[in-house]
Chain A
C-alpha cells in the first residue's frame, strides 16, 4: 500500500526513471513527500526508502542534513527572513524581530493557529531586495515591517494562494519530453484505449 497519493506516486516513479541509479532521486523524492504531507513524515520516509532501495534510517539521516526538509509538521506557510551580511546591513534582524511579534511565534516555531512557521535563514540570493523574505521559498520582497504585515494579511485571506502554494510544493511545472512520450501522444493512446473499452463493454452487453 502506497503512502503517496496516486498522482504523487506517479510523479515519483517518473523522477526515478530519470537517474542512472535510484538513490540519486533522494532529494527530489523527499521534496515530493514534503509536497504531499506538508512535511517529511515517517510514512513518507518509508516510501522514499522503498523507492530508492535504501532504509528509512538512511533516508532520515540524509534528509536531516538539508535545511529545506522539515521532519516535524510545520505551518501552511514557512516564512524565512534572512539576516546574513547584506540583509544584516539592511536591518534584517529588526525585520525578523518584527515578524516574530507580528506572527506571534518565536523564531523557529509555529504560530498557534498552525498557519505560519518562522525561520531565520542564510543568504537567499535576492540581496537587491534586502532584507530578504521568502514564504514557502517564494520571494515576497517585503523589505519593511508594513509591507511584511500586508503580505501576511493577504496570505491569511487566501489572496496569494496561487503565488504561494502550501508548504512543500516546490516545482509546479512538470517535466515533459525526454524520456517520456509526448503528452499529446499519451492522450491519444488513452482515448483510443477508452473507445475500445467502451466498445468491448457494449458488445458484452
Chain B
C-alpha cells in the first residue's frame, strides 16, 4: 500500500477549481512564505533551503541549496527559472503553471531574495499558451499586491520578473541551451567547462537556473522550516515529489507523493494513484524517469521512488515521469518512437548525436516496418556504442550536452530485455503486434 500521509507541499491548492486565481491564493496562505522570508536575513532563508536538502526537480537532481551557495560567493547577476518542460511524458510543471502560478511566482520571489538577485527571467515553454497567460496574470497580480517591483512589502528588496516565452525546442530544457535562447539565439547548449551558469551564465554573468517545481517547494519550506521538509522522504531524497504517470494505466496523471516511502508498484497500482493497468493487463516494462532513462522490468517494481535508490538499479529518476508498457505494447515501436524524438530534437552541434540519432532511427524504423535483418541487432548496438562508448550507465559523455548520450538508453534497454521480440520482427518481416 502506498504511503499517502505526507502533506501536499506543492499541490495543496489544486483541490479548488479556481486554484489559479489571486483570490484563492490569498485565501489559502498566499505570500505567507514571502512575508516570513522578508522578515529573515537572506542568508537564513538560504540556510533553510540548505537544511531541506531539496534536490532540483528538473531532472539532474542537483541539491538546490548547494547550487545557491556556489553563487553566494560571487556577485550574483541573474536567476533564471526553467519552465521549458518538454521531456516526453513529463507534465508536472505544466500542471503547476496552469493551476497554481501564484505559488511558483512566490517561490521565485523568495529565492531571488535569498540570492539577492533583482532580475529574474522565467523561461516558459512556448506551447503552454494558457500557462503563459496565467503566469503573466500572476506576475501582474504580484505587482498589484506589492509583492513585486520596488520595495516589496515595504522592505528594501526590489525585484522584476520577466516572463519569456520559448518557441518549441526540446534542447532549450538544457540550462545552457535555455540561456542561449534567452539571449535571442538558436538554443545550442554551451560546453561545460567553462560555461557553468554559476560562473558564466546569462550574458556571461553568474546565473542560477532552477526548475519550476523546485521554486514551487520554496514557500512551504520557508513557512514550515527546512527540517520539516527534510523529515519527509529518506536519505538524499527528501520531501515529496511530483510524479507524472502515463502510458497503459487506468488513471494517468500527476501525483505528489513522499519520496522513497513509496515504490513504483505503489505509484502504478494503488487505487488512489495509478489504479493498475488498463483492462487488467499485465505490465511488460516501464520507463522510470523520462526518455533518457534505461527501462525497468516488472521485477523492479518494488524499487523505492528515490534518486539514489533508482540510480543503484542503473537508471535514473530524472524528471519524475513514469511510462508503463503492457503486454500489447510493441517495444520495438516504443523504442523507435523515442529515438525519432531524439533525432528530431538533436540541435546538430555534435556529430555523434546529429548523425547517430538519424542512423539509429532509420535502422529502428526498418526493423519495425518489415525491413529488419538479423545483423541489425549488432549494428544498432555498434551505433549506440559509437554515440556513448562502452554503453555504460551513466553514459560516457561524447557531446556538449546530455542529449546525445541519452539516445542509446531505450534501444539498449529494448534489445537487452526483449531480444526475442526483435528476432520475431525480422523473422516475420513485420510487427507481430500489427
Q: Which A residues are within 8 Å of any B CB, using their own CB? A: 18-21, 23-28, 30-31, 52, 54, 61-63, 65-69, 83-86, 88-89, 122-128, 130, 134, 136-139, 170-179
Contacts and interface: CB of A to CB of B under 8 A. Distances in A.
Contacts of B163: 171, 175
B427 interface: no
Interface string B120-148: 00000111111011101101101110001
A136 B129 contact: yes
Contacts of B184: 21, 23-27, 52, 54, 62
Contacts of B129: 136-138, 170-171
A15 B337 CA distance: 38
Contact of A178 (B143, B169, B185, B329): B143
B417 to A, nearest CB: 16
Contacts, number: 174
A84 B127 contact: no
B162 interface: yes
A145 B344 CA distance: 27
B160 A89 contact: no
B88 interface: yes
B252 interface: yes
A75 to B, nearest CB: 17
A83 B253 CA distance: 18
B254 interface: yes
Given A27-B184, A128-B253, A84 B89 contact: yes
Contact of B167 (A19, A23, A27, A176): A27
A106 to B, nearest CB: 18
12 contacts: A21-B183, A27-B164, A54-B184, A65-B187, A85-B89, A85-B337, A89-B329, A122-B170, A125-B90, A134-B127, A173-B137, A178-B160
B57 interface: no
Contacts of B390: none
A27 B180 CA distance: 11
Given A28-B165, A126-B94, A128-B254, A171 B248 contact: no
B291 interface: yes
A59 to B, nearest CB: 9
A170 B163 CA distance: 13
A62 B128 CA distance: 21
Q: Is the interface of A mostly helix, strand, loop or mixed?
A: loop
Interface in B163-210: 163-170, 181-187, 203
Interface of B: 85-91, 93-94, 119, 125-130, 132-134, 136-137, 139-140, 142-144, 148-149, 160-170, 181-187, 203, 244, 246-248, 252-254, 287, 291, 321, 323, 325, 329, 333-334, 337-338, 341, 344-345, 347
Contacts of B94: 125-126
Nearest to A28: B165
A24 B88 contact: no
Contact of B85 (A23, A62, A66, A125): A125
Given A83-B337, A85-B88, A126-B91, 11 more contacts: A20-B203, A27-B164, A65-B347, A85-B341, A123-B90, A125-B91, A126-B94, A127-B91, A137-B127, A171-B163, A178-B149
A139 B140 contact: no
A170 B136 CA distance: 12
Nearest to A124: B127
B58 to A, nearest CB: 14
A61 B162 CA distance: 25
A97 to B, nearest CB: 14
**Chain A CB within 10 Å, residue with most, of B185, B248, B291:** B185
A3 B340 CA distance: 39
B137 A179 contact: no
A86 B140 contact: no
A65 B345 CA distance: 10
A174 B186 CA distance: 26
B289 to A, nearest CB: 13
A2 B325 CA distance: 54
A170 B134 CA distance: 12
Contacts of A83: 337
Nearest to A68: B168
B433 to A, nearest CB: 12
A127 B220 CA distance: 27
Contact of A89 (B85, B291, B323, B344): B323
A28 B203 contact: no
Given A66-B167, A66-B169, A176 B90 contact: no
Contact of B252 (A127, A173, A174, A178): A127
